[in-house]
Amino acid sequence: MNLEAEMNLEARQAVEAIVMVAVEPVAPGLMAQLIEIPTELVEAICARLAEEYRAEQRGFELVRVAGGYRFRSHPDAESYVKRFVVSGQSDRLSSAALETLAIVAYKQPLSRAQVSAIRGVNAEGAVRTLQQRGLIHEVGRDPGPGNARLFATTPVFLERLGLDSIHDLPPLVDFVPGPEVIEALETSLMAESRPSPETDQSSP
């Protein structure tokens, strides 16, 4: 084995070892500094490893999320993982927390008052829950009156959703009805609100 091959093997082993022991996704730039190789080579190694794991149909995969790389279980093994992680089933977010998280994700940064105004109800409890779960955090203060705290999503949020950045969120238009649906709904509502001939009889 020549020197270049030995260095590549050593770098591959180092990348695998670092990602294996890391609690959070590891940025390729950080791995490059630790292993003392170019960042481009780290990216190439990760891409090759990910492809090899897929070809070998492993029970795990190497993915890029939240700006870094991490191992996660393969989607095909989800049912078995769920059986193992039974304790996590009681930690699901409430619908109020999920609504609040979605608002923060798409409108960030924003304050508690702004979240409450959008939801139409007080969001203080939901914001506190999301902070405790590490899904949102304070990122600054509103320059306006009161200097309200502003919140945004965290890398943990990206990691949980399997996203590399906030720009990978699906566009809101995917969840909004098309103009033909809205027009049909308006027509239906107008028809329902229009008095029928039987009931709209003028007094003699």
136-141 and 68-73 strand pairing: unpaired
The per-residue pLDDT for range 123-133, each reduced to its tens digit, is 888 898 899 88
Residue 79 in this model has a pLDDT that exceeds 80: yes
Comparison of pLDDT for 88 and 68, the residue scoring more: 68
User: What is the mean pLDDT of the segment spanning 91-102?
Assistant: 83
| 29: Cβ contacts below 8 Å, ≥ 6 apart | 39, 42
Q: Answer whether the bond into residue 109 is a cis peptide, omega within 30°.
A: yes
Distance separating alpha carbons of residues 126 and 103, to the nearest angstrom:
11
Domains in the chain with CATH codes: 3-73 (1.10.10.10), 92-175 (1.10.10.10)
C-alpha–C-alpha distance, residues 163 and 168, integer Å: 6
pLDDT tens column, 148-191: 889 999 998 998 888 888 888 888 766 555 566 556 655 655 55
Residue type present at position 193: S
Residues 118, 115: Cα–Cα separation, whole Å: 5
Predicted local confidence at residue 13, as pLDDT? 94
Q: What is the pLDDT of residues 30-62, one digit of tens each?
A: 999 999 999 999 999 999 999 999 999 999 999
